[in-house]
Amino acid sequence: EAAPSFTLNPAAIVATEMKMLTKNIQDLLSSGHPSLDKVAKYYIRSEGKHLRPLVVLLMARATYNCPKAEEAERRRDSISATINVPITSPNILQDHNPSYPDVDGSVRPIVDSQALASDVATQISPSQKRLAEITEMIHAASLLHDDVIDNAEARRGSPSGNLAFGNKMAILAGDFLLGRASVALARLRDAEVVELLATVIANLVEGEFMQLHNGTETISEKYSPAAFEYYIQKTYLKTASLISKSCRAAALLGGSTKEVADAAYLYGKNLGLSFQLVDDLLDYTITSGELGKPAQADLKLGLATAPVLFAWEQYEELGPMINRKFSEEGDVEKAWAMVQSSNGLERTRELAESFSRKAIEAISIFPDSEAREGLEQIAKKGLTRKK
Ligand code: FPP
Ligand code: MG
Ligand code: MG
């Protein structure tokens, strides 16, 4: 089968905005403390894939010409935004405004009604750009924490944050990112959008907890679909919640109707699920050198992802191994071999493909645009990626 050729580069459509992303996030993260500054910005580097902000920006454009909600239905609770007020950590020993403690004394919140209007040329509003930044900040925070939990040594081909700075600083830097992301979010002055992204943070933790427990409650010795349902639920919370709710938020900030916001959400949900299934597949098919992070990691971490859960339908012996998180001598190797000779990898790929199709289907109600095509292409490209 020939590799699909892509004529359109999705990132090029929002290149101007993407170019500013890293710098803008770094500005949101400025801290008076030099080492906090360094650790917090460690996962905010221009080499990152920045998939989530890319999708958010494309979604902003793709929904630009979609139906808009009536003024009265709009969730926005204020037309004034404080989006451009700098976030600083004031020096308490010097003058600062006690009624607005995190804003430098001299800076009053600016009522910026321009902040919510979309630029005619780029079709993206400042608040949607800020949302893209917030999404990446929450993602980076979750990676800092995740690498501590997973005891990771590398990320994107470099030492992981925990390895470079130690667990304590990595955790604190992740918390700082969440704090600053929350301030930036509040400044969008849209209560529904705040609620969406706050829910994402809770969902990330819920997903990680589900993964810690690995569905042992749903795993008996015999194969049961409940184990797979648990895995999909966990995958939504851990991976798809952020991108789906960010997509919905992008549509809402653009004043979209509920129908449009629902479609944006469904795109993000199915893209996220497809993406994580491919991730779980790559853990079985790609070597660590190519991946830029350790491969075969999931079994070693005791994780039962889609390939091994599908393989379990063919090989009953996997049940007890999944149950004990592959902790006995030889479990990892035996489970690995069974997955390789099962149809688990193929079925994982098929499931990823079906989620990808659903993502594309969801946004078919949007008018034709380059941005919509870009979103479609991201959903297709995810399936053939190697890392
Ligand atoms: C990567 O998964 C991890 C996540 C996408 C989410 C991790 C969530 C937490 C640690 C919860 C608490 C954190 C915050 C900020 C709320 P992975 O380990 O499968 O992927 P990897 O191979 O990239 O490490
Ligand atoms: Mg990890
Ligand atoms: Mg993890």
Residue 101: per-residue pLDDT: 47
d(CA 21, CA 205): 26
The ipTM of this complex is 0.94
What residues pack around ion ligand 3 (CB closer than 5 A)?
A: 146, 150
* 81-90 residue pLDDT tens: 677 777 776 6
How far, in Å, is the centroid of ligand 2 from the Cα of 63?
Answer: 33
* 338-385 residue pLDDT tens: 999 999 999 999 999 999 999 999 999 999 999 999 999 999 999 998
In testing the pocket of ligand 1, which one of 204, 283, 293 has its CB within 8 Å of the most ligand atoms? Answer: 204
* 108-166 residue pLDDT tens: 444 455 666 777 778 899 999 999 999 999 999 999 999 999 899 999 889 999 999 99
Backbone Cα Rg of the chain:
22
Q: Name residues whose C-beta falls within 8 Å of residue 123's C-beta, 6 or more positions apart in sequence.
A: 60, 61, 64, 65, 371
Residue 27: per-residue pLDDT: 92
Instruction: Give phi and psi for 338, each to the nearest 5.
Output: -65, -40
Q: Is 204 in the pocket of ligand 1 (CB under 6 A)?
A: yes
How far, in Å, is the centroid of ligand 2 from the Cα of 155?
Answer: 9
Q: Is 239 in the pocket of ligand 1 (CB under 6 A)?
A: yes
Q: What is the mean pLDDT of residues 203-230?
A: 82
Which letter does DSSP use for residue 240 in this model?
A: I
The candidate with the shortest Cα–Cα distance to 115, out of 85, 137, 75, is 85
Atom number, ligand 1, closest to the C-alpha of residue 178: 15
How far, in Å, is the centroid of ligand 1 from the Cα of 227?
Answer: 20
Q: Is 185 helix (H, G, I), strand (E, B) or coil?
A: helix
How far, in Å, is the centroid of ligand 1 from the Cα of 140?
Answer: 9
CB contact at 8 A, 382 and 356: yes
Structure tokens at 192: 């529904």
d(CA 253, CA 190): 8
The candidate with the shortest Cα–Cα distance to 96, out of 179, 23, 32, is 32
CB contact at 8 A, 44 and 140: yes
Residue 218: per-residue pLDDT: 64
d(CA 232, CA 133): 27
In testing the pocket of ligand 1, which one of 137, 143, 144, 146 has its CB within 8 Å of the most ligand atoms? Answer: 146
Between 148 and 79, whose confidence is greater? 148
Share of the chain above pLDDT 70, in %: 84
How far, in Å, is the centroid of ligand 3 from the Cα of 145?
Answer: 9
pLDDT at residue 313 is higher than 70: yes
Q: Is 53 in the pocket of ligand 1 (CB under 6 A)?
A: no
pLDDT at residue 214 is higher than 80: no
CB contact at 8 A, 355 and 277: yes
How far, in Å, is the centroid of ligand 3 from the Cα of 133?
Answer: 22
Q: Is 149 in the pocket of ligand 1 (CB under 6 A)?
A: yes
